[in-house]
Amino acid sequence: MSISTIWALAAVVAAALQTPQSPPLVAPAGVPSLIESASTTTTFVMTEAEYRRSMERRVPEFPNLVPITKKPAGLSARARFGAPFLLRGQLLSWAMDGDETDGYVLILDWNGNGDLTDETPIRFEQVDGKPTIRVQREERDGPATYPVSMKLVLAWEVPPAKTEKQLALKIFSRTTRVGELTPPGKAPVRFQLTGIVGQYAEPFNTIALDLDRDGAFNGETEVFRVREKYVNIGDTSYEFIVDPHGERLTLSPLAVFVPSRISLTVGSPAPDFTFTDMDGRSRRLSDYRGKVVLLDFWGAWCMPCVAEAPKLVAAYQKYREHGFEILGVDAIDTREVALAFIQKHNTRWTQTQEPDKGPIQVLYRVSAFPTYFLIGADGSIKASGTDNLDLERALRALFP
């Protein structure tokens, strides 16, 4: 299914939504449960000078980034700073003071005004040998409030493209809410909503439905991004609507049956698309049929993308003469920033650009950067993943 086919399908669905249908299914979701198996964000501590330089560089790129305008009085020479910390759609900053002997305190810009003098320091407590803060807050959204749960942990980590460990603040803020709905004449379907800092309806959030009712959620066939909008249950298509704070899930039946979404599993045909490269030439992915192609979704702002660049360059130089190509899809960056990155890191293969949540990203359901799809000479997907993809191993299998 191409991008043009997707837009045509969207038009059909839009028309179907104008026709009165059966009443929507509305099901409540349970209380939020914090996911503690993986952090949402890892931010490395900085000196004040490093922090100021970082803000000068990043504020023009991110309008929702709130830099510190006033720091607390009495900070010691050990004080460090950091960002971002996502809350209420803002990217907030924080200060930290102390050391391993005396303990650490965190001063976070909870109200998002850039002034840390009106915030109360929070002391880290030792949990499983790591300085930890657990947060349970009620945030306000107009007249209503919603719960926010998170865990903050200090840990020594190795930053991307570096070799020595640095102190970092690991933020665990992803939560799930579980419920059950019953389509007419069918068995109940368990669902799970996943959100970040109490927000569940953002396009990148996920909804999982146990469509085969086996008690588990299959990542390929039963997990959907909120932006995907539609799901099939039996022979009925529904538009799903997630409550902004995950309190309920609504499924509205459609008048037409929407074809199931494109499969991106290994062995499936890679969805074709057209694009304009950085030189202004119009191309198609299918133009590369007969070659092995790595589809690389990246951004100059993405630190893991920076760390992965040398690996991609090495693979390109090693396998290009055997029929290996890379197609880069840069997101969010200006043309000038993207070209500077390509020049600096020698990623001189075919590149294109699109905005965040652009059509190629939507087609390939990209939710993290970098994301890779390795496409074989026959046009089928051979491997996929993020920065954990073992590209060298996958290429050796295709170029023995």
CATH number of the domain enclosing 279: 3.40.30.10
Q: Is 14 inside any structural domain? A: no
Would 213 be classed as within a structural domain? Answer: yes
pLDDT of the residue at 85:
87
**Exposed/middle/buried for 20, CB within 10 Å: 0-12, 13-18, 19+?**
exposed
pTM of the predicted structure, to 2 decimals: 0.75
Pick the last residue of a domain from 144, 172, 200.
172
Select from 239, 184, 235 the least CA-distant residue to 207. 239
Residue that is written with structure tokens 């001189």 in the block: 348
Indicate whether 163 belongs to any domain.
yes
Question: Do 222 and 318 fall within a single domain?
Answer: no
Question: Are 87 and 164 within one domain?
Answer: yes
Distances (CA, A) of 319 to 73, 218, 291, 298, 398: 57, 34, 11, 21, 10
DSSP letters, 215-236, are SS--TTTTEEEGGG-EEEETTE
Residues 254 and 234 sit within 8 Å (Cβ to Cβ): no
Q: Is 268 inside a domain boundary?
A: no
Supply the pLDDT for residue 219.
Answer: 85
SS3 annotation, 4-33: HHHHHHHHHHHHHCCCCCCCCEEEEECCCE
Residues in contact with 307: Cβ distance below 8 Å, sequence separation at least 6, in sequence order: 160, 161, 387
- CA-atom Rg of the chain in angstroms: 23
Q: Are residues 239 and 317 in the same domain?
A: no
In a shared domain, residues 168 and 180: no
- Alpha-carbon distance of 277 to 283, in angstroms, equals 7
Structure tokens at 16: 């179907």
Task: Return the pLDDT at 20.
Answer: 46
Query: What's residue 58's pLDDT?
Result: 84
Q: Is 378 exposed, middle or buried (0-12, 13-18, 19+ CB in 10 A)?
A: exposed
Q: The domain containing residue 377 runs over which residues?
A: 274-398
Same domain as 121, residue 88: yes
pLDDT for position 21: 60
Query: What kind and span of H or E run contains 91?
Result: strand 90-99
Closest CA to 89 of 256, 5, 201, 3: 201
Distance CA 295, CA 360 (A): 10
Strands 324-331 and 350-354: parallel
Residue pair 195/30 in contact by the 8 Å Cβ criterion: no
| Same domain flag for 98 and 182 | no
Count CA atoms within 13 Å of residue 38 on its CB side.
2
Q: Are residues 313 and 384 in the same domain?
A: yes
Asked if residue 267 belongs to a domain, the reply is: no
Amino acid 306: pLDDT: 87
| Residue 31, CB-side half-sphere exposure with 13 Å CA sphere | 3
Structure tokens at 178: 């579980």
Cα–Cα distance, 375 to 373 (Å, whole number):
6
* Contact between residue 312 and residue 279 where contact means Cβ atoms under 8 Å apart: no
Cβ pair 266, 382 in contact under 8 A: yes
Domains in the chain, number: 3
- Output DSSP code: residue 237: E
Please report the pLDDT score of residue 171 as a whole number.
94
73's CB contacts (< 8 A; 6+ apart) are 117
Domain membership flag for residue 262: no
The answer as to whether 264 is a domain residue is no
Give a yes or no: residue 283 inside a domain: yes
Q: Please choose, from the candidates 374, 36, 369, the residue with its C-alpha nearest in 3D space to the C-alpha of residue 204.
A: 369
Q: What is the pLDDT along the chain (400 residues), one digit of tens a residue?
A: 555 555 455 555 555 444 446 899 999 999 999 999 888 888 999 999 999 999 998 888 788 999 999 999 899 999 999 988 889 889 999 999 999 999 999 999 999 999 999 999 999 999 999 999 999 999 988 888 999 999 999 999 888 667 899 999 999 999 999 999 999 889 999 999 999 999 999 988 999 999 999 999 998 889 999 988 999 998 899 999 999 999 999 999 999 988 888 889 899 999 999 999 999 999 999 999 999 999 999 999 887 898 899 999 999 999 999 999 999 999 989 999 999 999 999 999 999 999 988 899 988 988 789 999 999 999 999 999 888 889 999 999 999 8
3-state secondary structure 303-357: HHHHHHHHHHHHHHHHHHHHCEEEEEEEECCCHHHHHHHHHHHCCCCEEEEECCC
Q: Is the peptide bond before 253 cis (omega within 30 degrees of 0)?
A: no
Q: Based on the fold, state whether residues 161 and 85 are members of the same structural domain.
A: yes
If asked whether residues 180 and 165 sit together in one domain, one would say: no
Same domain, 194 and 213: yes
Q: Is the CB of residue 96 less than 8 Å from the CB of residue 82?
A: yes
201 and 142 in a common domain = no
Q: What is the pLDDT of residue 220?
A: 82
Q: 215 and 161 in one domain?
A: no
Burial class (CB in 10 A: 0-12, 13-18, 19+), 289: middle
Terminal CA-CA length for the chain: 31
